[in-house]
Amino acid sequence: MTLLLHLADFNERRWADGFAAALPGMRVVTRADAYDPDEIDYIFIWKPASDAFAGLNRLKAILSLGAGVDALLRNPSRPAGVPIVRFMDEDLTQRMSDYIVANVSMHQRLATRFKRDQAARRWSQLYPAPAWDTTVGIMGLGKLGLDAIARLQALSYRLRGWSRSDKQIEGVEVFVGQVAFDDFLSGTDILVNLLPLTAETQGILNYDTFSRLRRDGVDGWGPVIVNAGRGGHQREADIVRALEDGTLKAASLDVFEVEPLPQTSPLWEMDNVFITPHIAAASSERTGVAYFSRVIRDFEAGLPLPNVVDQQRGY
């Protein structure tokens, strides 16, 4: 058996050494090594090149380092019918929830307002609303969304969720489908995006969406967005416009339409934007190797693959 690593932005050799130690008897190769494409059984991949799957005619599974698989589904060389396994474990989920909780709490405590006061050396005692007077709307109620909800519930935030299919979540008002989208937005103070990127969700974070968020909150408050989903969910020109004219008070962005975020982007200059370089749920080498080594061992032993992508739905 042979495992091929195709990892943009990562040290492929270090990951290969980890897999080789975890999978004795399996050959592990990187793109820099000599190998016969017909010998590749599995490919472990992140940010695939357009020809990433060329000649890989006997693949058993595609193993995605990321939870999002939109780039894989669009790849022109991807062989039809080969299952795609997403990376989804407790470590990744915890990291995402850490990011969501930190940014929601920061905005609930009016961090942008006090950041500006500090820059102006202005002492102005505006008291933020408590968590139980703040409504957080989560778009996407998969494993990541549900874990974020559980963490935010423990802090007493009011919570609502929006998804494609109905979910029953204790203490959470759930809105389903496009027909309920406006109602979902109209009661949301902090909008958190954890949706998969599909044709239906492309560009969903746009000016029209922002204009429908609740804007009758307490003094100093206003709609906020937190995007830890995919860059394709947002229209950055609309975010800039909304932040400039007050339609949005603030934003936390971990993903972007083009990555790295171009130096010319006006987002860099805005003091009501918090930018992180796509690290909200950065995949750990240790846990990634452990997770996918177990996936391969179990599958070779006849067990089913976990977290298989529905390629029709896109997640």
Catalytic option among 113, 212, 233, 278: 278
Q: Is the CB of residue 221 less than 8 Å from the CB of residue 250? A: no
Q: Could you give the angle at the alpha carbon of 202 between the alpha carbons of 196 and 207, nearest 5°? A: 120
Q: Is the dihedral of CA 151, 239, 107, 181 positive or negative?
A: negative
Look at the chain and count its residues.
315
From 6, 158, 212, 230, active-site residue: 230
233 classed as catalytic: no
Catalytic residue flag (residue 107): no
CB count in 10 Å sphere of residue 44: 27
C-alpha span between 282 and 72 (Å, rounded): 18
**Cβ contacts of 306 within 8 Å, gap of 6 or more:** 85, 88, 295
Catalytic amino acids? 230, 278
